[in-house]
Structure 1
Amino acid sequence: MTVAPPSGLWERMKADPQYAPEHLALEAVRRIGPQARAWAERNRARYPQMTPEATADAAIRKFVNHARVSGAISGAAGLPGAVLDMGVLAWTQARMVLYVAAAYGNDPEHADRATDLLVLQRVHKIAETARLALGVAAGRERVDALRRGSQTLLAQVMLRLGLKLAQMAGVRAAKRLVAKAVPGAAVVFGSWANSSATRSLATRAQELYRPRTAIMPPQPR
């Protein structure tokens, strides 16, 4: 079952599309972090023999499947449908990353997870710039500086939002977003693109959160 971003988040992202990835990352940690923590704790209690690696793999399979399904069912509604798909995909990927973090024993509710999301999803190259952007987005929320765009600019806002979410979700080229907005082609392309981008993100998340094993020097014979 795919889950869309909450309506309040959509409003913030539409009002402030330039910082859509940051708003999504902050909301994901707030909403999904507690769910991911509870899920990991339940799994450890029920399956004490299950390794963190196996637990992370189970989460990845679940969310890659969600991404595949969302890509197959959305694109026939033109640009709004394509933007919705990008939002659902970015939200699904954020859920996966937080569940993977929890599987390896990292706190999914920590503020650093929002930074991790933006770097893993290649919105920002380094953690420092990600933290700065998150601070700007959080500040805009606090001072209530967001305003809804006028109806005459709605299409432009939706396109900007779609491109930012596509960047976050790993569907980077503008032509991919356009392809997803074309009925027929979008159904086939969406399923492949969503699952491929999500698998690539999963690999990066595991590399980040997997505990580093010490390399023992060779023993003299």
Structure 2
Amino acid sequence: MTQAPSPEGVEEPPASLLARLRAEPDRAPEIVALAAAERFAGPARRFAERLRAQGHPPEEIAGQAVRRHARMARAEGAVVGAGGALTVVPDLAALAWLQSRMVFFVAAAHGFDPAHPMRPAELLALQDLYETPAAARAALDRTGQPIAVAYVSSRLDRAGERTLQSRLMRFVSRRMALRMGARVVPFLSSGVSAVQNGRLTADLGARALRYYGG
């Protein structure tokens, strides 16, 4: 049996998502989780169905998805993180987007419906943002619809920038502390972001494999 092919490449977070994150930085993790569920449920299902039809077992499909996303996270960190302090928020947003995609692909690989309302809740619980998926789902239900971002400046003030950075950092980092000092220094930040992003994604992937794989 040949090795399962990798998931296709990942696009950057859409501009509409970044605009909403800037408008509502306090709810950044929930906003990312809901947007990722809408965007990636279909691709995750098609990926898993295609490989299962080729005879690949769930463990192989899921493991390949984790390895691929960890590699993409390293590449993303090296490129987006190169700007130091100027690109910290875009780097964290891109990493959160990529990590979210990975969790939906792992769930689909193990036969879980990636479009089920509990998938984004499980994503938040896997990141230790909530104690249980049920608690996360309740928070997602309170998140509601996007506000009219047309009336909100796309540029954050300093307080909003710090809030968004903190919430995104909490989304992607879980128990692994990010060394933000090195991430804000141009050029040095590229290598640091690449290594940290890869490790953070692999760590989340291992938790997702245990959760969905049993």
State the alpha-carbon separation in 1 of the partners of residues 172 and 26 from structure 2.
15
Structure 1 position 149, deviation (Å): 4.7
Q: Given the alignment, which residue of 95, 100, 114 partners 1:89?
A: 95
Is 1:51 the equivalent of 2:57? yes
- Scaled by the length of structure 1, the TM-score of the pair is 0.85
Counterpart of 1:110 in structure 2 is: 116
Structure 1 unaligned runs (5+)? 213-221
**Is the 2:84–2:189 contact (alpha carbons within 8 Å) kept by the matching residues of 1?**
no
Match of 2:111, SS? coil
How big is the shift at 1:78? 3.4
Match of 1:21 in 2: 29
- What letter matches 1:22 in structure 2? E
Contact 1:64–1:198 (Cα < 8 Å) also in 2: yes
How many pairs are equivalent? Answer: 205
> What CA distance in whole angstroms lies between the structure 1 residues aligned with 2:138 and 2:180?
28
Counterpart AA for 2:126: L
Query: After alignment, is 176-185 or 101-110 more displaced?
Result: 176-185
Cα offsets for 1:57-97 (capped at 9, x unmatched)? 11111100110101111223233411111011111000100
Who wins on radius of gyration, i.e. which is larger? 1
Q: How does 1:1-221 map onto structure 2 within 5 Å?
A: 1-45=9-53, 47-48=54-55, 50-137=56-143, 139-141=144-146, 144=147, 148-149=152-153, 153-170=156-173, 176-210=179-213, 212=214
Unmatched tracts of structure 2, length 5 or more: 1-8
Measure how far apart 1:11 and its partner are: 1.0
CA RMSD in angstroms, aligned pairs only? 2.1
Quick one: percent identity of the two aligned structures? 37
CA distance in 2: counterparts of 1:10 and 1:31, whole angstroms: 14
